[in-house]
């Protein structure tokens, strides 16, 4: 028989007839059933890997009046069933706020919701079983009675506050920010031309090849937790698991190897993943959760639901005087922890108008709660919104003034000789190359010839459009991004390089690999810095148990920060190797160098000593070296940017489309991108990163949108209904580069992973509107579906 326990299964400090729970492991034949506390556990099945599934709210906003897990707990293969209260005894709730986002607020969020669900898909119970299938079968036996609550899904209704989701917060405003340089009204008053437009952006999500996944394994004997996690930031998650589960940080190990795509969506704390780790602690056994595709659409963070009104003031000669922005964005019922859901809107304020030399700028931005899934940082956070707003209104101003869009940009882009430069929002640029990039783009795409062809085709009722989009991009973020706000998210990265006795070099780096080629780039840098062949370098990433402490991979920081750490460690190791070689060879160190895995004479390149022989002596015959000399063939270095808060990149994109004005169908013909990402380490990796980013940006512009009903129900939460760009629809994407290395690092690498996504939607929008210009029609709501194109043409 199962016996009732008076305390949670492994409450810290609890005592039973078996002694102190924190120091003892239940006997294999022990059984207990925790009833009345929301936990049902059968200890007979302890030890083997278990799978957890979640009972999720079918409503966008509802109170849980009754939850009965007893029938589910008795189903075949079921090990345990928990409600939110049971899990909360092991996992503390969190609040997604940052100190430097003044006034940001959010309610506490639990690993499993207690009493109330605030969006469709929010978990209110967990069932643990021997297999995933058994767990899903058992979910059908969970009994729940719900009381539906008022729902708010419209951003403007949320801002108005007639329905308040979290009564204790007083309203639905999570965060608001205003910026005013002064002089904006005066600039508009003296302007010859004022253009205004309202733009809308549909929320969408990452659709990674590999879904979110976690396997947590708690070892009660050692009070350690090992987590195999599909994440971008293992050290951040190590800290989160430690603080919220009450386990010393040194006892938590997070391992994330090759992650199957992230795009920013795997750099956040997800309640179901925290619940999985907590349940592993509760059951003292490994527990696994993998979000299936339907769960992913419901619960992977969404992004970019904005409605923005932007104005621009210009002289008749085409000089931009001022920008004026009002932006509203919806984030779901919680600000996501620990990076917050205020950052995207904050970035829009920082970056709108970014490439241009005006000095007057005003912005007002509101972030509001709604009863949809949460939104947060996703590839190119805020940039696609800011670029589309800026470039859309710039094109409208050029049209109204009768100036060619390329020439209008040339007149207003920040001069390449103006740096260092401070933008009106306060951000600082070390060195950008807008004019070089524009010249290279126009040459690359044969701009004048395309315009001539466009005019000729219009005479034949073929409507093609050319769209341009200049951009700036935040990369290599310093502590100014999160650390100043109190978030325990490292702005530095580290690398350890070790010469092995065999002459191989092991590079252990804190950046992570999600398919973008991080490990290949780190290997190149290490090989070059030390002086060995690429195939002599082994790279290890994604393991807090062995890698130096670091931030991981996000915000286009892998090469610029992690790569710099590898470079500095490689140079130090090279120096140490030469010191050992000088003692072995009884030679002047200044006369030696390392080339191709051998110590050589610096002048003649004559081979003096293979590294494999140096390794043999240093490791196995150190007695042959001078008595007071100790070889140091393992070196660790860290790097974080300090002089500038961010390393900005810049670029410009162009898109050529053809619009069928009878069907509204947009055909992509060609796309160009010129990007300045500083020193290019691996041209193929960089070009494919940019192409992939462009494709993701095109997806947002033409296809992707998470559609919700007024009741907060996701209407297209599967790949049968949610459109993503496929190879058949994609144009040739031509990539070229300008290289302007930043001076604050020796490697000189800026980020490249998000540039394509940042500029593509604006370029596509401008191209469509250019094609529609003969009809005096334009689109301003993404995605630009055939229906919306036809609506603009007045045909539906």
pLDDT number for residue 47: 66
Q: Is 208 helix (H, G, I), strand (E, B) or coil?
A: coil
Residue 442 lies in a domain: yes
The answer on 295 and 218 residing in a single domain is: yes
Number of folded domains in the chain? Answer: 3
Enumerate helices (H) and strands (E) in the chain, giving the number of each.
19, 34
Give buried/exposed letters for 325-364 (b at 16+ CB in 10 A, else e): bebbbbbbbbbbbbbbbbbbbbbbbbbbbbbbbbebbbbb
* This prediction's pTM: 0.94
Chain center to CA of 323? 28
Residue (of 212, 336, 216) closest to 283 by Cα position = 216
CA distances from 596 to 47, 504, 599 (A): 50, 12, 8
Q: Please, are residues 309 and 326 in contact by the beta-carbon 8 Å criterion?
A: yes
User: What range does the domain containing 136 cover?
Assistant: 41-149+207-299
Please give the Cα distance from 240 to 439 (Å, whole number).
47
Same domain (yes/no): 409, 526: no
Residue 632 and residue 653 share a domain: no
The token pair at 669 is 């013909």
Q: What confidence tens digit (pLDDT) does each residue in 755-767 have? A: 999 999 999 999 9
164 in a structural domain? no
Whether 720 and 765 share a structural domain: yes
Residue 259 lies in a domain: yes
Report which of 221, 231, 283, 220 is spatially closest to residue 544, judged by C-alpha positions: 231
Q: Which residue has the tokens 């045909």?
A: 795
pLDDT at 14: 32
Task: For residues 289 and 254, state if they share a domain.
Answer: yes
Burial zone of 402 (CB within 10 Å; 0-12 exposed, 13-18 middle, 19+ buried): exposed
* Whether residues 580 and 651 fall in one domain: no
Q: Which of 257, 275, 299 is the last residue of a domain?
A: 299
Residue tagged 């969404």 (tokens): 302
Domain contains 13: no
**Cα separation, 509 vs 562, whole angstroms:** 7
Specify the pLDDT at position 478.
82
Longest dimension (CA), the chain: 91
Whether 159 and 173 have beta carbons less than 8 Å apart is answered as yes
Q: What Rg value do the Cα atoms of the chain yield, rounded?
A: 29
Q: Which CATH number goes with the domain that contains 76?
A: 3.90.1170.50
The verdict on 295 and 324 lying in the same domain is: no
The pLDDT assigned to 16 comes to: 28
Q: Is residue 156 part of a domain?
A: no
Residues of the chain with pLDDT under 50: 1-36
Task: Say what the pLDDT of residue 643 is.
Answer: 78
- 166 found inside a domain: no
Dist CA 268 CA 448 (whole Å): 46
Tokens of 757: 């996504």
Residue 184 located in a structural domain: no
Boundary-marking domain end, from 269, 299, 329: 299
The whole-number pLDDT of residue 157 equals: 98
Q: Which helix (H) or strand (E) holds 177?
A: strand 173-180
Q: Quick one: 341 and 354 in the same domain?
A: yes
**Of 268, 284, 299, which marks where a domain is finished?**
299
Is residue 503 domain-shared with residue 474, that is, in the same domain?
no
Same domain flag for 73 and 112:
yes
Let me know whether 437 and 389 are in one domain.
Answer: yes
Is residue 191 situated within a structural domain? no
Query: pLDDT per residue over 542-553, tens digit each?
Result: 999 999 999 999
The CATH number covering residue 515 comes to 3.30.365.10
- Give, in order, the Cα–Cα distances in Å from 112 to each of 97, 121, 514, 657: 20, 11, 28, 47
Q: Note the pLDDT of residue 139.
A: 98
Same domain for 135 and 228, yes or no, is yes
Q: b/e for 48-76, b at 16 or more Cβ within 10 A?
A: eebbbbbbbbebbbbebeebebeebbebe
Q: Are strands 598-601 and 666-676 parallel, antiparallel or unpaired?
A: unpaired
What does the pLDDT read at residue 42? Answer: 67
Other C-beta atoms closer than 10 Å to the C-beta of 37 total 17
Distance (Å, rounded) from C-alpha 171 to C-alpha 795? 41
Strand order in the sheet with 62-68: 116-117, 62-68, 143-148
């Amino acid at each position: 028989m199962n016996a009732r326990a008076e305390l949670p299964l492994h409450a810290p400090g609890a005592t039973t007839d078996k002694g102190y729970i924190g120091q003892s492991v239940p006997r294999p034949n022990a059984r207990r059933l925790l009833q009345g506390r929301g936990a049902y556990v059968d200890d007979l099945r302890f030890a083997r890997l278990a799978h957890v599934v979640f009972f999720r709210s079918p409503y966008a906003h509802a109170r849980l009046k009754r939850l009965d897990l007893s029938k589910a707990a008795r189903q075949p293969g079921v090990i345990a069933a928990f409600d939110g209260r049971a899990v909360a005894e092991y996992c503390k709730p969190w609040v997604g706020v940052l100190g430097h986002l003044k006034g940001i607020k959010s309610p506490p969020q639990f690993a499993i919701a207690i009493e109330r669900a605030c969006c469709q898909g929010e978990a209110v119970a967990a069932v643990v079983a021997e297999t995933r299938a058994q767990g899903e079968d058992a979910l059908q036996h969970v009994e729940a009675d719900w009381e539906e609550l008022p729902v708010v899904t419209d951003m403007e209704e949320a801002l108005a506050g007639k329905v308040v989701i979290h009564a204790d917060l007083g309203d639905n405003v999570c965060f608001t920010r205003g910026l005013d340089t002064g002089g904006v009204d005066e600039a508009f008053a003296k302007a010859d031309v004022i253009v205004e437009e309202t733009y809308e952006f549909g929320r969408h999500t990452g659709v990674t090849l590999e879904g979110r996944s976690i396997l947590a394994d708690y070892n009660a004997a050692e009070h350690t937790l090992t987590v195999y996690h599909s994440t971008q930031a293992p050290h951040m998650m190590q800290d989160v698991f430690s603080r919220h589960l009450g386990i010393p940080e040194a006892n938590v190990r997070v391992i994330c190897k090759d992650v199957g795509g992230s795009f920013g969506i795997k750099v956040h704390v997800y309640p179901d993943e925290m619940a999985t780790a907590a349940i592993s602690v509760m059951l003292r056994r490994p527990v696994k959760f993998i979000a299936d595709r339907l769960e992913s659409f419901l619960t992977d963070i969404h992004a970019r639901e904005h409605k923005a009104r932007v104005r621009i003031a210009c002289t008749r000669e085409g000089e931009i005087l001022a920008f004026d922005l009002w932006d509203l964005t919806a984030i779901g019922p919680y600000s996501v922890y620990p990076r917050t859901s205020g950052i995207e809107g904050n970035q829009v304020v920082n970056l709108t108008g970014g490439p241009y030399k005006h000095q007057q700028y005003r912005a007002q931005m509101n972030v509001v709660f709604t009863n949809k899934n949460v939104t947060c940082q996703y590839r190119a956070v805020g940039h696609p919104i800011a670029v589309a707003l800026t470039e859309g209104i710039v094109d409208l101003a050029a049209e109204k003034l009768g100036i060619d869009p390329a020439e209008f940009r040339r007149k207003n882009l920040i001069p390449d000789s103006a740096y260092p430069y401070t933008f009106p929002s306060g951000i600082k640029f070390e060195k950008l190359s807008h004019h070089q990039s524009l010249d290279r783009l126009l040459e690359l795409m044969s701009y004048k010839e395309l315009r001539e062809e466009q005019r000729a085709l219009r005479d034949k009722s073929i409507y093609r459009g050319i769209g341009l989009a200049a951009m700036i991009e935040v990369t290599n973020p310093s502590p100014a991004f999160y650390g100043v706000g109190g978030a325990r998210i490292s702005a530095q990265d580290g690398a350890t390089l070790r010469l092995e006795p065999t002459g191989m070099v092991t590079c252990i780096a804190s950046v992570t690999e999600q398919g973008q080629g991080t490990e290949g780039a780190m290997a190149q840098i290490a090989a070059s810095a030390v002086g060995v062949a690429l195939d002599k370098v082994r790279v290890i990433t994604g393991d807090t148990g062995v890698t130096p402490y670091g931030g991981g991979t996000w915000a286009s920081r892998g090469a610029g920060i992690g790569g710099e750490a590898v470079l500095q460690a490689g140079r130090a190791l090279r120096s140490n190797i030469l010191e050992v070689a000088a003692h072995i060879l009884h030679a002047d160190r200044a006369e030696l160098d390392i080339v191709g895995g051998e110590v050589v004479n610096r002048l003649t390149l004559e081979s003096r000593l293979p590294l494999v022989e140096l390794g043999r002596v240093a490791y196995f015959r150190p007695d042959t070296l001078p008595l007071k000399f100790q070889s140091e063939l393992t070196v660790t270095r860290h790097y974080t940017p300090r002089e500038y808060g961010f390393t900005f990149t810049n670029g410009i994109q162009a898109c050529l489309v053809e619009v069928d004005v009878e069907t509204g169908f947009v055909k992509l013909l060609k796309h160009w991108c010129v990007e300045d990402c500083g020193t290019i380490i691996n041209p193929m990796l960089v070009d494919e990163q940019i192409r992939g980013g462009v494709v993701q940006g095109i997806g947002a512009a033409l296809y992707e949108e998470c559609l919700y009903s007024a009741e907060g129900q996701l209407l297209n939460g599967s790949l049968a209904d949610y459109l993503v760009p496929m190879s058949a629809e994609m144009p040739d994407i031509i990539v070229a580069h300008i290289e302007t290395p930043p001076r604050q690092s020796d490697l000189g690498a800026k980020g490249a992973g998000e540039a394509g996504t940042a500029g593509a939607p604006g370029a596509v929008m401008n191209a469509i509107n250019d094609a529609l210009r003969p009809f005096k029609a334009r689109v301003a709501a993404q995605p630009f579906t055939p229906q919306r194109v036809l609506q603009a043409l007045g045909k539906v």
